[in-house]
Amino acid sequence: MTLRRGAARVLLGNWTGTSTVPSRTLYPHQWSWDSAFVAIGLRHLSVRRAQQELESLLAGQWADGRLPHIVFNPEVPYGAYFPSPDFWQSSRAGRAAGAPASPETSGIVQPPVHALAAWLVHRADPAESARRGFLERVLPRLTAWHDYLLTRRDLGGGGLAAVVHPWEPGMDNSPAWDRALARVEPDTGTFRRADLDHGDPADRPTDLDYGRYVRLVTAYRAAGYDDRATTHRFALEDPAFNALLITGELALAGMAGHLGRDGARHTARAAELTRRLVDRLWDDTAGVFRARDLTDGTLVGRRGVAGLLPLVVPGLPDDVVHALTRTLDGPHFRAPGTGLVPSHDLTGADFDPHRYWRGPAWFNTAWLVERGLRTHGRHARARTLREALVTEAGRTGFAEYVDPLTGEGRGARQFSWTAALALDLLHTDEEEPTR
């Protein structure tokens, strides 16, 4: 009960009246996949508020279907966060691509967790969902979002969605992006990082990283955020991003069926995406999925937690599931200090237990791995991960992430998705997840 109350306090404290910020200090706007995870936890406190969380994010959707990774709060001063609305210039630079006149948003995206979140929120109280017409309103928007990813973002021609910025897969400075980013000339001296006002520089991406992030955005912005008019200097097919797209397609099929509509299109897309995911990104020798760099067509030679997250896909071949679970419990990802899953290979030369996505264990990826284990009937292993997540979330004051070796909380505290997902797992039993 103490943990439940603590998690609820975090979510209430980070609520702005229309949505939930990840952190009152470090992240003062609404982030895309953060809000999806927050809604999953909020459904246990208030289904109505969980619905509003998703609906407020969808209000920033572009006419081409993309769901931007940040929806900006106009009451927050520009200097409180970088890149701010005046950097993205969405309503002006993105007008041809369908950016809304208001609210201001970013021009890139984040992993498509939203359909899964909406389906879980609906399932928490179908009567309230029906009363408010929740599914009827979100289904066409979420379908348009997936259509955007499967058409305009099929940059490799292999049927998978590509990411065009390290912020898009959500694992900003993962070593998996190093080789691709090395081809990008960094912007220097034209921006000020507000994140260092609230975060330890040892935890955050480097200035060199940020210079390259800025360069990629300015090039995309100059092309009007038009994927067809842009020569992307960073383009990869990420396994976690596409795995979440598959689970989202299955959620859309469930929504359509509940509304008496034909969900066969989404079921078929999920099956085809699963086949392509395995064909293009599975590395049987390493026992992990890898990102594919579309500049040269090669698989990235790094093991990261993104390569384990396809466990959430129900239709994976049995041999792939067996290999993934062996990798999870092997030397690359078994962190005895916490029982969580490090974001990068513990044995890798570029592993760093403190620096953002280069090693620390995150609670949202642990939640996804736990769900994947249950999806494939690994209930005992899921239980140990669930217990570790809940324990570490409470012990660290709902930290943004933790050192996987020592359990030291790092990054922001009172972090929204940590609280939301701990709350969700407190309500989770060992039944197979709804597909």
Q: Is 178 a catalytic residue?
A: no
Catalytic option among 34, 172, 209, 352: 172
SS3 for 163?
Answer: strand
**CB of 14 closer than 8 Å to CB of 23:** yes
**CB of 83 closer than 8 Å to CB of 217:** yes
Q: Is 86 a catalytic residue?
A: no
Report which secondary-structure segment, H or E, holds 20.
none
Q: What sign does the CA torsion over 290, 61, 145, 18 have?
A: positive
Name the residue with tokens 């701990």: 422
Burial of 408 (0-12, 13-18, 19+ CB in 10 A): middle
- Angle at which helix 363-375 crosses helix 379-395, to 10 degrees, equals 160
- Supply φ then ψ for residue 288, to 5 degrees: -155, 155
Residues 6+ apart with CB under 8 A from 269: 146, 150, 249
Catalytic option among 104, 125, 400, 424: 400
**CB of 90 closer than 8 Å to CB of 54:** no
Residues recognised as catalytic: 172, 400
